[in-house]
């Protein structure tokens, strides 16, 4: 009993230290995984904590569960719209790109470490995947916003390349330890792993959505638990059938996350916290598992392997693929540099220990060192490289939080919180001059510790928190209005449903529309009634250059809603 009490005390202290260390990430420009690992190493047998931990089996079990939850959360947060845009280059990078990276790195590792080619390829396979969470946490902390296509490619590739690295690692271990013959057996294993994992993920995701749409649970807190259990079910079922559990749980997450269900935001917050807890526990535990002195034994070999991985293997795997899909040289350079290694390689480095492979400790130490070098070097210079390549774009005003209106059932509306940045185009403008879409309501404004009643005369200031009631389809329009001047949101719809009281000057300011030659203070209502010589009716159209205005709703003598169509500009 006393031992359990001590374990709880030590675990809680380490988790708290891991959380507090994350505050240093933005200041030092390092991925949080590096700081979590350092916390574990400092608490380990050769650190200040003097905690002895040498249980690869336990580390493997905890790491597998943690990694499953991290991938599941990644799937929940991956929008299908992003997948559709870049699935071709991202999927090739996540499969063929990982294989090329593993091959080139593995050949180099076999010579550098003086081990067999198969063992070298095993190291290459282990370090073959990238870490999306580490990359984009750094980009967010540094305030860097990338082109939507470039960002989506990095996200989808990083989120989906883990199963290929895991497959290659397990296959090479089967060849080295259990005598699996390369050839037909490997192909069968590949199709079983990938095909089985994908099918199970799709099936469990579909069944979970059907259950969520039909069941009403008494306690709100049970919805996130149900979704978590479904994710673990997809992992366990796929793994027991010979498929990839990691691929299954990721696909299951994508299916669930891209469909609306009760208490969805609550579920997302729960899994985001669970993924963070998993990362902290996993990295701190892995830091405990390694002895710093053992890293010194492979420091120069690790440096050489990391150099080949970062400067040779990753670029050669990336450049031909992205060149084929029309990416610019600057974009290809950034993707090549964003080859940050993270959680998966260290977890996979435990596999040789589990299999009882001779020389497994050398492989584990070498991989650990490579991950530290990759995360430190690439992580600390990522923002600088993006700026030097001139790939930073104006920041879009994304919602800080979204509240669900669960009391109204399956209503297509949300309460969204926007925080006005110092560079927002909305700063110093009256609320009445914001040209908000029809049906969008600012319910409350908070300024520091004050609540400001939202009136048309209210002047917006930097740092204001706006709580807005809107439909999901209107989010791109709000992001456009609250973003920096000159920025054009690529997700902005070509058809805007606007209030008839909106003035041309406000529309030009908020949506970057060209109304040259028009009276800036005319409203859409006044302009349409002036141009329509006959009786104004719903559906009547007015053309202004390359923009079409369509009368949508009329109340009395006023045009209350106008549909503005910009598609003529691209015709």
Nearest to residue 378, comparing CAs of 335, 331, 339?
Answer: 339
Q: What is the pLDDT of residue 571?
A: 42
DSSP 430: B
Which of 388, 422, 457 is the C-terminal boundary of a domain?
A: 388
Q: Does one domain contain both 469 and 501?
A: no
Q: Indicate whether 224 and 208 sit together in one domain.
A: yes
Position 256 scores a pLDDT of: 92
Paired tokens of 39: 């916390």
Count of domains forming the chain: 3
d(CA 109, CA 125): 11
CATH of residue 348: 1.20.1530.20
Residues 354, 414 share a domain = no
Give 204: exposed, middle or buried? Use CB within 10 Å, 0-12, 13-18, 19+. buried
How far is residue 290's CA from residue 310's CA, in Å, rounded to a whole number?
23
Whole-angstrom CA distances from 86 to 140, 148, 315 are 21, 10, 19
Residues 168 and 268 in one domain: yes
Interatomic CA distance for residues 326 and 1, integer angstroms: 62
Nearest Cα neighbor of 63 from 364, 286, 238 is 286
Tell me: do 85 and 45 sit in the same domain.
yes
Q: How far is CA 412 from CA 105, 404, 408, 477, in A?
A: 50, 10, 9, 16
Q: Do residue 473 and residue 517 come from a single domain?
A: no
pTM: 0.73
Which backbone phi and psi does 470 adopt, to 5 degrees?
-155, 165
Bridge-based pairing of strands 401-404 and 441-447 is unpaired
8 A C-beta contact, residue 390 and residue 404? no
Give the C-alpha separation, 509 to 90, whole Å. Answer: 36
Using CA atoms, how far apart are residues 361 and 457, in angstroms rounded to an integer? 69
Domain containing 504: what range?
494-571
Q: Domain check: are 550 and 401 in the same one?
A: no
Interacting residues of 320 by C-beta distance below 8 A, sequence separation 6+: none
Q: Which two tokens stand for residue 29?
A: 């420009």
Q: pLDDT of the chain along its 571 residues, tens only?
A: 446 776 677 778 777 877 776 666 656 666 777 777 778 887 777 777 777 777 778 888 888 888 888 888 888 887 777 777 888 888 898 889 999 999 999 999 999 998 999 999 999 999 988 876 666 566 555 566 777 788 778 877 877 787 788 888 888 888 888 766 665 566 777 778 888 888 999 999 999 999 988 888 877 788 899 999 999 999 999 989 888 888 899 889 989 988 888 788 888 888 888 888 887 888 788 788 777 778 888 888 989 999 999 999 999 999 999 999 888 899 899 888 887 787 778 888 888 888 888 888 899 889 988 988 888 888 778 778 888 888 877 666 565 555 555 544 455 677 888 888 888 888 888 888 888 888 788 888 888 888 888 888 888 888 888 888 887 778 888 888 888 877 777 777 888 888 888 888 888 888 888 787 778 888 888 888 888 866 778 888 888 878 888 888 888 778 889 888 876 544 4
DSSP H helices in 179-298: 184-214, 222-240, 245-257, 264-289, 292-296
Domain boundary among 444, 477, 493: 493
Residues 347 and 472 in one domain: no
Same domain (yes/no): 315, 441: no
Burial class for 338, CB neighbours closer than 10 Å (0-12, 13-18, 19+): buried
For residue 520, give the CATH number of its domain.
Answer: 3.30.465.10
d(CA 415, CA 370): 45
Backbone angles phi, psi at 66, to 5 degrees: -60, -45
Which stretches of 532-568 are DSSP H helices?
A: none
Under DSSP, is residue 554 helix (H, G, I), strand (E, B) or coil?
strand
Pairwise CA distance, residues 359 & 365, whole Å: 10
Kindly state whether residues 189 and 253 are assigned to the same domain: yes
Neighbouring C-beta atoms of residue 560, cutoff 10 Å:
16
How many other C-beta atoms lie within 10 A of the C-beta of residue 461? 16
Report the CATH number at residue 456.
3.30.70.1450
Residue where one domain finishes, among candidates 369, 388, 407: 388
| 329 lies in the same domain as 420 | no
Residues 223 and 335 in one domain: yes
Distance CA 545, CA 525 (A): 18
Backbone region of residue 29 per phi and psi (left: phi > 0; alpha: psi in -120 to 50; beta: other values): left
């Amino acid at each position: 009993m006393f031992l359990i009490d001590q374990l709880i005390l030590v675990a809680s202290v380490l988790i708290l230290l891991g959380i507090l260390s994350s505050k240093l990430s933005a200041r030092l420009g390092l991925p949080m995984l590096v700081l979590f690992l350092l916390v574990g190493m400092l608490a380990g047998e050769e650190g200040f904590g003097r905690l002895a931990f040498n249980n690869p089996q336990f580390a493997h079990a905890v790491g597998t569960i943690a990694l499953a939850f991290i991938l599941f959360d990644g799937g929940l947060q991956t929008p299908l719209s992003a997948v559709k845009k870049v699935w071709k280059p991202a999927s090739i990078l996540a499969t063929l790109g990982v294989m090329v990276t593993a091959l080139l790195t593995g050949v180099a590792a076999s010579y550098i470490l003086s081990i067999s080619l198969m063992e070298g390829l095993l190291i290459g396979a282990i370090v073959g995947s990238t870490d999306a969470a580490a990359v984009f946490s750094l980009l967010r902390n540094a305030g860097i916003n990338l082109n939507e296509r470039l960002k989506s490619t990095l996200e989808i590739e990083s989120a989906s390349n883990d199963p290929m690295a895991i497959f290659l690692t397990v296959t090479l271990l089967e060849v080295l330890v259990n005598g699996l013959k390369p050839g037909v057996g490997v192909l069968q294993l590949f199709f079983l792993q990938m095909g089985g994992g994908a099918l199970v993920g799709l099936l469990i995701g579909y069944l979970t959505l059907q259950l969520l749409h039909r069941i009403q649970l008494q306690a709100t807190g049970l919805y996130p638990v149900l979704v978590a259990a479904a994710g673990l079910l997809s992992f366990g079922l796929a793994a027991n059938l010979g498929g990839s559990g990691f691929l299954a749980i990721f696909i299951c997450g994508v299916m669930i996350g891209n469909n609306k269900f009760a208490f969805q935001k609550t579920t997302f917050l729960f899994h985001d916290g669970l993924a963070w807890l998993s990362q902290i526990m996993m990295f701190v535990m892995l830091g405990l598992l390694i002895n710093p002195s053992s890293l010194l034994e492979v420091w120069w070999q690790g440096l050489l392997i990391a150099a080949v991985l970062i400067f040779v293997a990753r670029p050669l795997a990336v450049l031909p693929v992205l060149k084929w899909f029309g990416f610019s040289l600057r974009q290809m350079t950034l993707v090549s540099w964003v080859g940050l290694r993270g959680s998966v390689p260290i977890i996979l480095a435990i596999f040789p220990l589990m299999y009882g492979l001779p020389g497994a400790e050398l492989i584990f130490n070498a991989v650990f060192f490579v991950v530290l070098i990759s995360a430190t070097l690439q992580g600390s210079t990522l923002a600088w490289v993006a700026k030097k390549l001139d790939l930073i774009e104006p920041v879009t005003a994304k919602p800080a939080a979204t509240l669900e209106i669960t009391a109204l059932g399956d209503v297509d509306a949300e309460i969204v919180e926007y925080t006005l940045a110092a560079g927002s185009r909305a700063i110093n403008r009256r609320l009445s001059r914001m040209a908000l879409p029809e049906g969008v309501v600012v319910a409350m404004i908070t300024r520091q510790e004050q609540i400001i009643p939202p009136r048309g005369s209210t002047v917006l200031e930097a740092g204001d928190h706006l709580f807005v009631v809107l439909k999901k389809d209107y989010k791109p329009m709000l992001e456009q209005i609250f973003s920096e001047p000159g920025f054009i949101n690529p997700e902005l719809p070509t058809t805007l449903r606007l209030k008839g009281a909106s003035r041309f000057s406000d529309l030009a300011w908020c949506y970057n529309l060209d109304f040259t030659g028009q009276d800036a203070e005319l409203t859409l209502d006044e302009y349409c009634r002036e141009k329509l010589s006959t009786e104004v009716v719903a559906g009547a159209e007015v053309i202004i250059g390359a923009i079409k205005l369509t009368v949508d709703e009329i109340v009395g003598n006023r045009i209350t809603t106008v549909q503005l169509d910009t598609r003529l500009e691209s015709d």
